[in-house]
Structure 1
Amino acid sequence: MKRTISYLLYILTIMLMTSCTDTPKNAQKVDKLPTIFPDYVGVTIPVDIAPMNFDYTGGTYDALNIVVKGSKSGEINESGNAIDFDIDEWHNLLKANRGGSLNFTLSVKTDGQWTQYKSFKMYVSKHALDEWGLTYRRIAPGFEIYSKMGLYQRNLSNFDEEPIIENTTVPGACLNCHTSNGTNPSHFTFHVRGSHGATLISINGKREWLKAKSDTLHGSMVYPYWHPSGQYCAYSTNQTHQSFHTVRSERIEVFDQASDIFVYKPSTHELLLDTLVMTDSHYETYPVFSPNGRTLYFCSSVAHPIPGGYKQIRYNICKVAFDPATGKLGQRVDTIFNARQMGKSATHPRPSYDGRYIMFTMTDYGCFPIWHHEADNWLLDLHTGKAQPLTVANSRNTDSYHNWTRNSHWFVFTSRRGDGLYTRLYISSIDDKGRATKPFLLPQRHPAQYYDRLFDSYNTPDFTLRPVELNAREAAKEISSDERVVTKAR
């Protein structure tokens, strides 16, 4: 009797599943690609990325059917009201087709008639991300008042997102300039602006909150970058201001009236200052260490009167030797990329962890490219000294802040290519010849709905090897307590 009931339940389940599945019959084939959001046609993806769900945006419909076939093996066939791949099936298909491709065939049912669109491909790279996920800040695109914002982290193999810390725990605070050591969050730092200003230094779970400003610095400790040994962290100290344009095509300009760079040594709480990179004649900013830890790269511009000369502020990429044993800089600064000669400004250098490239953002002028429509990402080959724009990855709108995966095959960056207002996150890869692939928008389970309802901009993205462990409640208490570690200059 029990066996009979179980069998009947099984048959009923199959009938219900069959009745809910609407598969294409007598589909009319059209020789054009479907209109989808995001535009994932022809993108290259890593084997460990979340399902690349997309929405059909070509008009109203009754049902969708998607068939995904691997060039090596495997297939997914789903019907329903949305493209929502099962995570396990998706990852199994990607693993089976690593180094190959996936062929997507979308059929759309409207008024009882199926239309089958031209198939398109996604290419599965032989290189994995090899990172757990991303960290980033989400903030409403305002100018004067901090609404709800925070630092967040996202698992890139699925759609899970969680806050690292939000300013709702410390009202009025701005959380920014976060970074870990080569994507390893065991060394983590970020800056807090506001009435409880501070700079966090977290090493293997031990937190110290530094005074936000020092009498020996122009401003706060921002734009951090860890030395690969973890014994040092480079910062910039800036007197940053903003003003609004009166022309329609430009909105806001953020500029520095002074900026210097220095190195911080956490074990001794020392600010390692050097007049070589702290000059009155130049603005120095955006310091980063080379992967071997023996070079400090940074951006430098001739100082011009502000605000009158703000369009004359153009940064070159420079370097100076660094001795990890003593924490001392070398004797001279060398320019490795002269953007000023091109009438341009190069900012935000980020070396690939294999030591081959430096990615940077090129604009017409200034140091804050996120508000520049012309901003593009470029790649400097340290072996040849040649630089070129990442044409395939760039767009007609702002493309800026970027970071690498540890294996140096993938990078994430921010872009306003969607609507010109909100910065979103895109991921692209670099092939063996330094060529970028078509970038893809950060996947979401229901992307059109998600991005339409999201009124935050993403910025300062970085990859993370594993989740950042920070007790937000304890951190908030520590920020509000105003107990600070005092630094000393050397």
Structure 2
Amino acid sequence: MIKYLLFCWYVILFLSCCEEERPGYATGELIFPDYRNVTIPVDIAPLSFYVNLPEMNENVQVSLSTRTYKLNRQGKEIRFSSLEWRELVTSDSVINVYIQKKIDHLWNCVDSFKIYISSDPIDPYLSYRLIEPGYEVWGNMGIYQRCLANYEEGAIFENSRVKEICVNCHTTNQGNPEEYIFHQRPKPAGTILVKDGVVSKLNTDYSEKIKTLVYPSWHSSGKYIAFSVNKTVQAVHSQHRNRIEVMDLHSDIVILDVQKNILLTSSLLSSADAYETFPCFSSDGKKLYFCSAPAISLPDSFNYVRYHLCSLDVDLEKGTLGSKIDTVIRVDTLNASISFPKISPSGRFMLYTRHAYGNFSIWHRDADLCMFDLHNRREVDTSILNSEETESYHSWSSEGHWIVFSSRRMTGLFTCLYLAHIDSSGHAGKPFLLPQKRSDSYFFQYKSYNVPEFMKGPVRTSEKDLEAVMER
């Protein structure tokens, strides 16, 4: 049924996407995607966009100029070659954009804006999952990688190679494409580990309570990975602004010694009186951050579950975990809940998702990105990053000047990826949609982007090698 509905949606979009009629979300601004006054890295693919004017193509022109270089385009679909785009973005730190239309044989400026070029480096690749936005079942899905300097996308692994499996929760060790993990579900279930050129499948059946591992975080040494262990259920709302609820009936955190395949545990991370989830190691590996909520009756009290941001000191080389939990952000006075904590490479900023309740913010329309300055113990304004729809999963670039996050702001249903610049004080720039070769590419994108992560290079492990291990 879900494939049929998605096919119908695809056909409707196709029939409606002619030059004079585009989807409503693409006509709310003068240009789509909205690249006005954004900050971009030098090494980004050309920003193709469409000008939403009723005039015919021959009566619209766009110019982009710096102090030493200029490009002119006739028409409403604006695209650039890699060579001319490279010359433009390397010629100055500011691009001036002018949009004009012809009235009575004279060119009149309709709008002008700037595009700012940052010299701060960005990692060259992204990885993400593409999946249909369903609730109960899935069809074709995969984990993919995208080169940010152009539009090239390739599969790391597609589930069509192993029948009826789900691949999820992929993450690299600090952006290293040669060290990464992902899970496969349901059977033959397991966690796939790629490290030092070797592909292996971890036996995660550690005990009666710990059968599978879920949300991961690599330790900076690469020797340990923290995981949550969750018993998750979901329910569909009949009348609610959020479509579904996903909740944990219980959840704990464990730390895996990758070399020995043994778990480090602590009663502070597996209390029967609390739900612990979303582990996140500090940049220096000396703290483990996580989210924790007091255990209450579920599912009847689902909208009263609120997660604090906590931390625990760790010394994993000695195999010791701290004896006291520090509550970094208490949510009692915020009337909110925290999920997906991600710390900047500098160790100063904690980017997280805030929403009214619960921990699975992906389907919560009120979910926003927030940032906490761990050095000065204060919130940083991130309002520029957020919209009226869901902002959820996010990650930092390895140098800490860029973030990527998923958002449903375009349609309210499908998640797309946005990038934003973060300066040394934590101030965020206006986010911009991941560039595609054509401005209408997203009109025909019927899968959601999920779990975006920066990578320092491409994954080179073959799908065949992954498949051989996954079928064991």
Using the size of structure 1 for normalisation, the TM-score is 0.87
Identical columns (%): 38
The Cα shift of 1:78 comes to 3.1
Query: Aligned ranges for residues 46-65 of structure 1 at < 5 Å?
Result: 46-59=41-54, 61-63=56-58, 64-65=60-61
**Among candidates 74, 80, 84, match of residue 79 of structure 2:** 84
Q: 1:370 aligned to 358, 362, 371, which one?
A: 362
1:272 corresponding residue in structure 2: 264
2:6 aligns with none
Q: Does the CA contact (< 8 Å) of 2:178 and 2:195 recur in 1?
A: yes
Q: Deviations over 1:175-234 (max 9, x none)?
A: 110100111122101111122211011112211101354325445211111111101111
Task: Provide the rounded CA distance (Å) in 1 between the counterparts of 2:289 and 2:194.
Answer: 23
2:468 pairs with 1:472:
no
Distance 1:447 1:81, change over 3 A: closer
Q: Which amino acid aligns with 1:475?
A: L
Q: Which residue of 2 aligns with 1:7?
A: none
1:286 match: 278
Gaps of 5+ in 2: 1-27
Out of 245, 248, 254, the position equivalent to 1:256 is 248
Q: Quick check: which has more Rg, 1 or 2? A: 1
Q: Deviations over 1:84-134 (max 9, x none)?
A: 11112212221221xx210112335699886542221111123121x1111
Q: Distance in 2 between matches of 1:389 and 1:275?
A: 35
AA aligned opposite 2:48:
N
For residue 79 of structure 1, report the CA deviation from its aligned partner: 3.2
**C-alpha distance after superposition, 1:390-446 (max 9, x if no partner):** 101111111111100111111010111111111110011112332211100000010
SS at match of 2:453: strand
1:67 Cα offset (Å): 1.4
Q: Match of 1:168, SS? A: helix
Q: Give the superposition deviation at 1:77.
A: 2.2
Paired AA for residue 457 in structure 1:
S
TM-score by length of 2: 0.90
Letter in 2 for 1:446: R
Q: CA 1:79–1:62 in 2, change beyond 3 Å: closer, same or farther? A: closer
Q: CA deviation at 1:328?
A: 2.1
The answer as to whether partners of 1:225 and 1:234 remain within 8 angstroms in 2 is yes
Instruction: Give the letter for the 2:181 counterpart.
Output: T
**1:297-335, Cα deviation, whole Å (9 max, x unpaired):** 111000111101111111111111110312321111110
Q: Which amino acid aligns with 2:88?
A: L
Matches within 5 A, 1:213-252: 213-252=205-244
1:21 corresponds in structure 2 to: none
Please, which runs of 5 or more residues in structure 1 have no aligned partner?
1-32, 482-490
CA–CA separation in structure 2 for the residues paired with 1:289 and 1:445: 37
Does residue 307 in structure 1 map to residue 303 in structure 2? no
Q: Are 1:61 and 1:109, in contact at CA under 8 Å, matched by a contact in 2?
A: no
**Aligned counterpart, 1:320:** 312
Any residues of structure 2 matched to 1:363-402 within 5 Å, and which?
Answer: 363-402=355-394
1:422 and 1:108 map into 2 onto residues whose CA distance is: 33
Matched AA of 1:433: S
Contact 1:233 1:265 in 2 (8 A): yes
The RMSD of aligned alpha carbons is 1.9
Selected match of 2:114 from 111, 121, 134: 121
- Number of aligned residues: 444
CA distance in 2, matches of 1:367, 1:281: 16
Is the Cα contact below 8 Å between 1:53 and 1:444 reproduced in 2? yes
SS of the residue 1:298 aligns to:
strand
Q: Does 1:429 align with 2:421?
A: yes
Moved beyond 6 Å, runs of 4+:
109-113
What are the Cα deviations for residues 333-370 of structure 1, in whole angstroms up to 9, with x where unaligned? 11011123321101110000011100000011001001
Which stretch shifts more, 114-123 or 287-296?
114-123
User: What letter corresponds to residue 93 of structure 1 in structure 2?
Assistant: L
**8 Å Cα contact 2:381-2:427 kept in structure 1:** no
Question: Aligned partners of 2:462 and 2:104: how far apart in 1?
Answer: 53
